[in-house]
Amino acid sequence: MGRVLAVIIWILALGSVALFTTKKWWFPTAISSHAAALDRQFMLTITIVGLAFTAAQIGLGYMVWKYRDTGDRSRATYTHGSNRLEVVWTIVTAVIFIGLAVMGQSVWASLHFNKAPAGSFRVYVVAQQFQWNFHYAGKDGVFGRTDPKLIDDSSLNYIGLDDTDPNAKDDAVHSVLAIPSGRPVELILRSKDVIHDFWVPQLRFKQDLVPGMEIHVHFTANQPGKYELACAELCGSLHFKMKSYMLVLPEAEHQALVALPQDQFQARMTELLAKYQLPQTGN
Ligand SMILES: [Cu+2]
């Protein structure tokens, strides 16, 4: 029985590793400028963790095999172990994992902690159960005033935009995120109710939206197209419906879109959504 268990452990371990090494299920093709560095870090981390996992499982199977019940009724012996070994592998493990964490934070921190570059295209993202609202500044590039007291979902004023503010006249609010290709984008993330999470797998970008907080993040997408945008935080009973699209548009097409007045903006967005196709799955 001990041998069977050992072999099962090895098969399960190698099967798990094969799921990753064959890359049958893998990330979609990346479309952001930081993605290469992030994917490199991911590969490094998963390779080191994978090697440690494989070694540990092979060792576990070996112990199960070697110390199986052979029916000779010999008594087990107690050993206290080795303090030196304990210290060595604790330090080695700590160095590896702290090293990976320190290396990994540089890309992440550059997008989450640093200020967005000057000239970034800015969008306010207001999440709510269960939809995305993207607030565009319009032709003047200045956001109209918003006030939580003016929020009225029944009249479609989801973000509380103050119509009396002159800067709000050319603003547009839409459920789809449209950003320029090749130009930095700054998102200012807010939530009206619970924690939501902005996630576009191709962007290699994921960030929570937290009620009461205004979270600034930035990135640059460089591949025009239509991409699925999901809420990646279980935010309520209709969480699964909280999805939308992100359109990455060539700069000129994007500039023309955001300069349109609100009603034409909505119509143009519908056209653009039909014009661009989602990437083929599995790539
Ligand atoms: Cu959500």
Q: Report CA(253)–ligand 1 centroid distance (Å).
A: 29
Please give the Cα distance from 147 to 127 (Å, whole number): 15
Give the Å distance between the CA of 191 and the centre of ligand 1. 9
Token readout for 263 is 């009603």
The structure's pTM equals 0.82
> 283: pLDDT confidence band, cut at 50, 70 and 90?
very low
What's the 233 CA to ligand 1 centre distance in angstroms?
Answer: 6
Does pLDDT of 78 surpass 80?
yes
What is residue 185's predicted lDDT score, i.e. its pLDDT? 95
- Distance from the alpha carbon of residue 238 to the mean position of ligand 1, in angstroms: 8
Measure 230 CA to ligand 1 centroid, in angstroms.
8
What is the number of alpha carbons within 13 Å of residue 247 lying toward its C-beta?
24
C-alpha 117/C-alpha 219 separation (Å) is 9
Whether 186 contacts 205, CB under 8 Å: no
Tens-place pLDDT, residues 136-146? 998 888 898 88
Q: How far does residue 130's CA lie from ligand 1's centre (Å)?
A: 6
Residue 24 has pLDDT above 90, yes or no: no
| 282 pLDDT more than 60 | no
How far away, in angstroms, is 192 Cα from ligand 1 center?
Answer: 11
Three-state DSSP at 91 gives helix
What the block records as the tokens of 34 is 């930081």
Q: Per-residue pLDDT tens for 247-277? A: 999 999 999 999 888 889 989 999 999 999 8
Q: Print burial letters for 232-269: b (CB count within 10 Å at least 16), e (below 16).
A: bbebeeebeebebbbbbbeeebbeebbebeeeebeebb
pLDDT per residue as tens digits for the range 109-162: 887 888 888 889 999 999 999 999 999 998 888 898 888 888 888 888 898 888
Closest CA to 229 of 249, 197, 200: 200
Give me ligand 1 centre to Cα 239, in Å. 5
Separation of 189 CA from ligand 1 center, angstroms?
13
CA of residue 134 to ligand 1 center, whole Å: 14
Segment 90-95 long-range contacts (CB within 8 Å, at least 24 positions apart): none
When the pLDDT of each residue in the chain is averaged and rounded to a whole number, the result is 90
281 confidence band (pLDDT: 50, 70, 90): low
Report whether 189 contacts 127 (CB < 8 A): yes
- Distance from the alpha carbon of residue 248 to the mean position of ligand 1, in angstroms: 22
